[in-house]
Amino acid sequence: MATIEIEAQTSLPDHTQLPCEDGTFVKNFQEHPQSILLTESIWSKLQEIHPDQQFCIGQDSGIYWRITEPPQKGAVSPDWFYVPEVSPTLNGQSRRSYVMWQEFVAPLIVLEFVSGNGQEERDQTPYKGKFWVYEKAIRVPFYGIYEVQKSSLEMYHLIEGQYHLMPPNQRGHYTIEKMGVEVGLWQGIYKNIDLPWLRWWDVQGDLLLTGEERAETAEKLAEHEKQRAEKAEQELIRLRELLAKAGVNPE
């Protein structure tokens, strides 16, 4: 069996030989910042999970799961996905795509951002539909369909080879235990756009912040502490003045 796998690996194309783009463009202005937000906010958490740095994240990148002609027909391109326990590079090269027959490790979670009516993301047509490919071919444990226009998120969990719609927890989030996080919708402003963004929380329900958000939070905290100190100093001066008027030595 090992000999067959080695021969297959050497005869099949790898990520450097397969197309990494198909000439199409991102469908709207929200998809790119949404991917960045997901990656930046979970990065420190993944550093904790993988101190050896063995993981990779794909953003609108191809996952090749079968050989076809043309090659692109044998690939799907999730808007965001995470693969644990794999090298972030291959032979010192940046990944051009994620090739299942070269890797043998499926993504743990795949997220799709709906820009149409969601039919493509829910298509269960064998060998063609995204839903079928993630469920039956790649076998991704967690699959999320995010519809910004409807402000909705559907999360599916693969159980015994079949996707089951996950119920939200009491916070309205979906728990991904292996990552130690929850995923859900957050209404707010990111990159000057006010939308229901797809975001991560820790299992205690605390929002995972981007580096920029952490810096802003620290700045606000420092400003608050400065104002508190200034107010305390002003109050101390006022009390000393009152004591001095009363003929009491404040010292």
Q: Token pair of 198, please?
A: 């797809």
| 31-49 helix and 211-245 helix, angle to the nearest 10 degrees | 80
pLDDT of res. 5 = 43
pLDDT of res. 75 = 96
Interatomic CA distance for residues 215 and 143, integer angstroms? 32
pLDDT of res. 12 = 80
pLDDT of res. 107 = 98
Interatomic CA distance for residues 224 and 47, integer angstroms? 30
pLDDT of res. 13 = 75
User: Could you tell me which of 134, 117, 116 has the C-alpha nearest to residue 125?
Assistant: 134
Output the pTM of the full model: 0.82
Exposed/middle/buried for 12, CB within 10 Å: 0-12, 13-18, 19+?
middle
Low-confidence ranges of the chain (pLDDT < 70): 1-10, 15-27, 218-224, 226, 229, 250-251
- What domains are defined for the chain? 2-208 (3.90.1570), 209-251 (no CATH)
Q: How far is CA 22 from CA 33, 34, 63, in A?
A: 21, 21, 13
